Structure 1
Amino acid sequence: MKTLNKIGILLLTVATLGACDSDTKIAKATIEAKSGSNVSGTVTFTESNGTVKMKAKLAGLSAGNHAIHIHAIDDCSAPDGKSAGGHWNPTDKNHGKWMKEPFHIGDIGNLVVGADGKGIIERETNLWSVGGKDANKNVVGHAIIIHEGPDDFSSQPSGAAGPRIGCGEIIRK
């Protein structure tokens, strides 16, 4: 009888943990070099309990700040990345700084890159979703763009960040 109880508890635990995992949604963009750059890396979006965590890990960049944005179209076919369209801005706001009104929902900010050419930037928000039904929140079907220069957070419509040197289509996993 004790063995059956232990098995029952074990099965209940496994079922509970499995249910938690099924609530997690993941999307990923693999960054391709554009405009003659050497940029590479990944941007991962993980949604759990209504909050999306984004982590971008990039390499092959010059030291300093590089703007990173979500762009409207999931198309990185152009050599200069312009096939990804403009910033993702479903709420029709002015360009700005992450979480400081007004700002595009795709305004992520500046990636700080060290002398080794590598950088990581993380964001967490309930303004995004991974595969959700609300087109104003769903990051899937858009693209990540890395720019040559920093975002000035004020120039309209896109922050005067220079050429697009990396692009990755955001795909649900």
Structure 2
Amino acid sequence: MRLIHTTLFLASALALSACKQGAEPDAAPADPAAANTPATVPAEAPVSDPAAPPAMAKPVATALLQPTKDSTVAGTITFSEVDGKLRATGDISGLKPDSEHGFHIHEKGDCSAPDGTSAGGHFNPGSSEHGSIDATAHHGGDMPNIKADAQGNAHIDGPVASNVNVGKGDAFDITGRGLIVHADPDDYKTQPTGNAGARLACAVINKAP
């Protein structure tokens, strides 16, 4: 009888020891604050609209065109840089109806002469030949001709040159140069002026306020 009790006691002790050795360690108490904190959801990145037009740069230079002697041509042009190209925006009035005219940046910001010749020749910091802006070689001051409507008004809004800049302060900066509207269209062949004729209006390109 005593042997049976001893055997039962040893079996119970072994069973308890096995339970303690196989038991999982107690987990750390949960943080109530962490349990009540909502999961952080990453913010969605803004989606750009591929059809949206590119943001326009603010005008950094302006030119107030004044008529030369015996001319009525006048207007205001603003210059900015967009995608590395010089862009001109503005309106010119007093032109002949349905006419076409050479439109150039000149080397000097001087409109003191009655005929506008004080503005000098075309702005040409790269010492290139005269030509259209699509040509490999062209003056820094070469720009597309402007076209007047039936009322003698011309609206300008587009890129005009890629080999000059506005506001950078280097040799290719148009700030402080002259702007000329010519009597005839530029043929983009005749050197060095494109045979664009007399000067109808002159302006100094000034840094915008």
CA shift in 2, pair 1:52/1:160, >3 Å: closer
CA shift in 2, pair 1:155/1:51, >3 Å: closer
Corresponding position of 2:167: 131
Shift of 1:142: 0.4
Render the CA deviation track for 1:57-101: whole Å, top value 9, x for unaligned: 100001210000000000011100000000000101111112312
Percent identical: 38
Shift of 1:33: 0.1
Greater C-alpha radius of gyration: 2
Whichever residue aligns with residue 109 of structure 1, its letter is: P
Segments of structure 2 that go 5 or more residues without pairing to the other structure are 1-54
Render the CA deviation track for 1:46-66: whole Å, top value 9, x for unaligned: 236754321141000012100
Whichever residue aligns with residue 91 of structure 1, its letter is: G
Question: 1:71-86 to 2 correspondence within 5 Å?
Answer: 71-86=106-121
Residue 195 of structure 2 is aligned to residue 160 of structure 1: yes
CA distance in 1, matches of 2:174, 2:157: 15
Corresponding position of 2:93: 59
Question: Once superposed, what is the RMSD of the aligned Cα atoms?
Answer: 2.0
Corresponding position of 1:4: none
Whichever residue aligns with residue 135 of structure 1, its letter is: A
- Superposition TM-score, scaled by structure 2 size: 0.67
Q: Is the 8 A contact 1:35 1:164 kept in 2?
A: no
Structure 1 consecutive aligned stretches of length 4 or more whose deviation exceeds 6 Å: none
Corresponding position of 2:15: none
Segments of structure 1 that go 5 or more residues without pairing to the other structure are 1-19
CA distance in 2, matches of 1:66, 1:49: 26
Corresponding position of 1:111: 146
Shift of 1:109: 2.0
CA distance in 2, matches of 1:90, 1:123: 22
Q: Is the 8 A contact 1:52 1:128 kept in 2?
A: yes
Please identify, of 63-72 and 44-53, the stretch whose mean Cα deviation from structure 2 is larger.
Answer: 44-53
CA distance in 1, matches of 2:204, 2:83: 24
Question: 1:9-28 to 2 correspondence within 5 Å?
Answer: 24=58, 26-28=60-62
Greater RCO, CA 8 A, separation 6+: 1
CA distance in 2, matches of 1:98, 1:126: 8
Shift of 1:127: 2.9
Q: Is the 8 A contact 1:47 1:129 kept in 2?
A: yes
Corresponding position of 1:151: 186
Give the length in aligned residue pairs. Answer: 152
Shift of 1:126: 4.5
Corresponding position of 2:137: 102
Q: Is the 8 A contact 2:59 2:78 kept in 1?
A: no
